[in-house]
Amino acid sequence: MTRKDFKNSRWKYTPLGFLAIGIVAGIVVLSGISFQDGSDGKSWKIMTLSAADVDPGNGNDGIVNIYIYPLSEKADITSSPYEPNEADAYEHCDSAFVDGEELEDSTPVGSTYIIAIEVQFSNKAYNTTSSDWDKDLVKAEITCAELSLTAEVMEEAPDFSQQDGTSDAHMTFYVDNSDSGWTMTTGNSITVSDVDIYYYG
């Protein structure tokens, strides 16, 4: 058995090492997930938080979960409820995103997968003009040489999920290789070298 590793070295407050996720046939490394508040004025800013957590808490920003997800179940994201279901995932975080954690479960050889990241946004993503959660106010970029992704803007679910008034809501970002996914092969080695999550404000 080999592993996928999620690695992070650029958290603002907590420099994390790597997060290992167990799979049958490959290695994935996710590093440089950055969250940093920007300056005054309207522009794209990288969010700030100290660590990712499956429960960031009311009104906070944070990564809710990271998924290696079956392409065949992508409708969980692209239609209501607009977020992955842990029961459908090949792998996912079982607790906070911490140094060296191995994700639960494994991705079988021959399976076709996508990568999805569920993020909770505070009111940074709430448009007070339209009085609604606005997906145009958030974005994520991912870099992975083996998957030919270079600061690739991740796709977004059609709408936010788990909207809590104006306090917080979840958005799922994903990459799916033009709806073809990627097939897990024996000895597959993948490095996701950077993920940046932004809000406009």
The pLDDT of 89-114, averaged and rounded, is 77
Residue 143 has pLDDT above 90, yes or no: no
The per-residue pLDDT of the chain, averaged, comes to: 77
Instruction: Give 25's pLDDT tier (boundaries 50, 70, 90).
Output: very low
The pLDDT of 96-125, averaged and rounded, is 82
Q: For 165-201, write each residue's pLDDT tens digit.
A: 999 999 999 999 999 999 988 877 666 677 789 998 8
Q: For 159-169, write each residue's pLDDT tens digit.
A: 999 999 999 99
What is the per-residue pLDDT for 97? 59
What is the per-residue pLDDT for 95? 67
Residue 150 has pLDDT above 50, yes or no: yes
The pLDDT of 6-30, averaged and rounded, is 35
Most confident among 55-69, 89-103, 119-133 (mean pLDDT): 119-133
CA 192 remoteness from chain centre: 11
For residues 118 and 50, the model is more confident at 118
> How far apart are alpha carbons 11 and 34 in whole angstroms?
6
> How far apart are alpha carbons 179 and 80 in whole angstroms?
18
Q: For 39-86, write each residue's pLDDT tens digit.
A: 445 788 887 654 555 678 899 888 888 888 999 999 999 999 999 999
For residues 126 and 16, the model is more confident at 126
Q: What single-letter amino acid sits at 33?
A: I
